[in-house]
Structure 1
Amino acid sequence: SIKRFGAEVASGTSASIDFTPTLGGVHTLTVTATDDVGSDVATTDFTVLGDIGGSGFVNNILWLAEAGITKGCNPPTNDEFCPDDPVTRGQMAAFLVRFLGLTDDGGGNSFIDDDASMFEADIAKLAAAGITKGCNPPTNDRFCPDDPVTRGQMAAFLVRALVLTDDGGGNSFIDDDGSMFEADIAKLAAAGVTKGCNPPTNDRFCPDDSVTRGQMAAFLNRASDIATS
């Protein structure tokens, strides 16, 4: 079976769902499937993110929610996504762990500053997979879970997560020459995961800018084709 917007539809059948919510919240959707034997009624709950209608990343965010990679930004209700908020390093860990399906935490306790973080388990899994090296080189005994993720850092996370090696010749953008993440940014651009930060020209990457939650949804949506290929 497959799942779309939280509704389970048996393989080999067709269905369409039209729903335009005006507010976020938990809505009950009833799906009726009829076959040669008769009809069955199934109900399921799904959460509508009520704050994404004006976002340029609405389709990416919907994909992120359908894939189970985001649970919302305002627990326990979680009926909002906060698309314009910056992504913290802890949130980034959770996004990537769900995106990649990581389970091994390597014994946990990789860093000294995440014991009180709700993302401690995700951070341990990210470290065990070699996707993060910490935030305070060369010691790297801290993760800085509450710090915002910069676009350069995000490039490094995704390059390691996707095991990207092709830089397409490098020098994709005019503003990353002095960045420690220049090689990662080139690989991300060559893979088509980033398009730049200044459309329509897109000759800049803005490596020191914070990544918003909406932008992160777009990055992961584009990266999904690589992760599943």
Structure 2
Amino acid sequence: MPEYALIPKLDSQQLQYTAGAVLLLAVAGVVARLLFPPQPGVRREKARKGMMEVTVKWGKEKIRVPLPPLETPVSEFRKVLSDATGLPPDGFKIIYSGAVLKDNTAPLSAFGIKPGRSLAIIGLNEPLPTPAATAAAPAKEKPTEQTTIEKIRTEMSSLTSTLSPELESFLETGETEDKETRVATHTRLGELILQVLLRLDALSVEGWEEARKERRAAVKHAQDMLNRLDDGWKKMRGGA
């Protein structure tokens, strides 16, 4: 007897039921794939670690690189950036919040680096980027007293909103930190405050009384912060 003779014959109604069941199974499979798409292990791992990354601005490019534990020294982080860019570890400057990470032995935490933030790398001989630099800068307009005052207030805001809280924290907890972290934090704060002073000094008030008054107040505030930083540093070194 031929093998096909062993297959039971189905009537038209049975065939309809069978076809309907196959169609339902196929539809269910498609819906399941749409609702619960498979995720490769690498993608899940990247999603889990998504917050432990930083954005690195490198020329016209922006790349995301993994951020190692914050106790990692800058020298080790340079190797991570070198792997991501192909540059030699000692062939670039790392800039974060306007300051250059010069101390390769200091931990990342000393510079306030946090996951999700942005930093920049530039060649050793390239000038530091300025906050005012843009990709497509419009034609330079002659400054007015109002625009000058706005620039002064921006610098003042960076002192009061960002640097002042960091200074207070350093003065309160600096003595409890290890020596490398303490030195790196002192250096970074000093550089950032000094940069504000230099930018304020570069602004021409051109005889505008209100602008001159606001710049004077901002300069005094920055100088007072530098004095407090130096006084606190002397106490820390004396108690070291």
TM-score for the superposition, normalised by structure 2 = 0.26
Larger Rg belongs to: 2
**Bigger helix share:** 2
TM-score for the superposition, normalised by structure 1 = 0.27
